């Protein structure tokens, strides 16, 4: 690689890095650090943090519980329409968030597709924390499912076949072999899903509104505070940057379980049960 080309590459890297770093630096330097920390203790910021944590944890628990076996099935079974189904599950990745929120409202709203059925049960979802949970699950779920499919696809099928040959039932192969082997990838998918859910805005405001202490998440609080108090908006934004950076760092540092550990775990469990 000659010097001129190396200089071009370095220059491009410097420009790109500066473009992404400078706005974040400005976010933290626009307001003195002490004032920034003080604003994080405001009622608006604390309420938004609580709502964000509660709804994100519930949404991601549902995503993991339902998305993990779904991703495993899509990875390990061939059936007609599999490619189409995978595309449908990944569609929210490219949908504008506002469209996602409107779609949820058209489905679960009082006049929506399931409106009559929900009303008959006395259930009202829009503009409640349940709506926030559904909005987060809708936009963040595909991040987890896609990564989970990649993780399960990377598992050597020979190991799964070997477990079945040793007499393990399908559910045991899934729980004791496939899950440990794909554990690192699944954890990374969960981190991506959490990060996406923390920053969700469009779908939430369309479907759940922005009621302080009820449906107002951190990203919605930034939008509301922008017209009222710039320091509060900057403080909440800085908080989101820190949380997102921590999640991305966790993805980089996640330990990958080795195949030998997974197989020994399976073997130990099999010997213990016999």
- Nearest Cα to 196, choosing from 146, 142, 147, 148? 142
Residue with token string 């608006």: 44
Does residue 271 have a pLDDT over 60?
no
| Pair 86, 153: CB distance under 8 Å | no
Residues 192 and 128 in one domain: yes
Average pLDDT of the segment spanning 65-72: 96
pLDDT at 262: 45
Does residue 258 have a pLDDT over 80?
no
CA 9, distance to chain mean position in Å, is 33
Residues 17 and 59 in one domain: no
The token duo for 127 is 């503009």
Q: Flag whether 37 is in a domain.
A: no
- Nearest Cα to 194, choosing from 99, 89, 93, 58? 58
pLDDT at 254: 63
pLDDT at 201: 93
Count Cβ atoms below 10 Å from residue 46 Cβ, excluding itself.
13
First to last CA, the chain: 61
Q: What is the mean pLDDT of the chain?
A: 87
Residues 114 and 149 in one domain: yes
Residues 25 and 143 in one domain: no
| Pair 21, 15: CB distance under 8 Å | no
pLDDT class of 255 with cuts at 50, 70, 90: low
pLDDT digits (tens, 9 = 90+) for 207-217: 999 999 999 99
| Pair 141, 194: CB distance under 8 Å | no
pLDDT at 77: 87
DSSP state of 258: P
- Give me the domain span that covers residue 23: 1-30
Residues 50 and 155 in one domain: yes
Average pLDDT of the segment spanning 184-211: 91
pLDDT at 133: 97
Residues 6 or more apart in contact with residue 154 via CB below 8 angstroms: 182, 185
- Nearest Cα to 147, choosing from 201, 100, 90, 101? 90
pLDDT digits (tens, 9 = 90+) for 221-241: 999 988 888 888 888 888 888
CA distance 188 to 245: 14
pTM listed for this prediction:
0.84
Q: Flag whether 36 is in a domain.
A: no
Residues 121 and 14 in one domain: no
């Amino acid at each position: 690689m000659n010097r001129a080309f190396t200089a071009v590459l370095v220059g491009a890297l410097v420009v790109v890095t500066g473009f992404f770093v400078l706005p974040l630096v400005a976010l933290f330097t626009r307001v003195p650090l002490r004032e920034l920390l003080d604003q994080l203790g405001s009622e608006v910021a604390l309420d938004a943090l609580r709502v964000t944590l509660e709804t994100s944890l519930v949404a991601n628990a549902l995503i993991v519980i339902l998305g993990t076996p779904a991703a495993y099935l899509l990875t390990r079974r061939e059936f007609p329409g599999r490619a189409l189904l995978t595309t449908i599950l990944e569609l929210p990745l490219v949908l504008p968030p506002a469209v996602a929120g409107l779609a949820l409202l058209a489905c679960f709203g009082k006049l929506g597709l399931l409106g009559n059925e929900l009303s008959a049960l006395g259930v009202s979802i829009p503009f409640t924390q349940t709506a926030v949970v559904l909005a987060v699950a809708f936009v963040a779920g595909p991040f987890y499912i896609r990564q989970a499919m990649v993780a399960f696809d990377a598992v050597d099928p020979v190991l799964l076949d070997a477990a079945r040959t040793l007499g393990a039932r399908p559910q045991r192969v899934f729980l004791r072999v496939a899950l440990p082997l794909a554990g690192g990838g699944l954890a990374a998918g969960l981190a991506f899903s959490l990060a996406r859910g923390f920053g969700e805005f469009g779908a939430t405001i369309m479907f759940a509104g922005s009621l302080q202490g009820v449906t107002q998440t951190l990203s919605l609080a930034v939008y509301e505070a922008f017209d009222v108090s710039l320091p509060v908006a900057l403080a909440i934004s800085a908080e989101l940057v820190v949380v997102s950076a921590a999640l991305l760092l966790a993805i980089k540092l996640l330990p990958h379980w080795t195949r030998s550990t997974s197989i020994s775990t399976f073997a130990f469990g099999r010997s213990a049960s016999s």
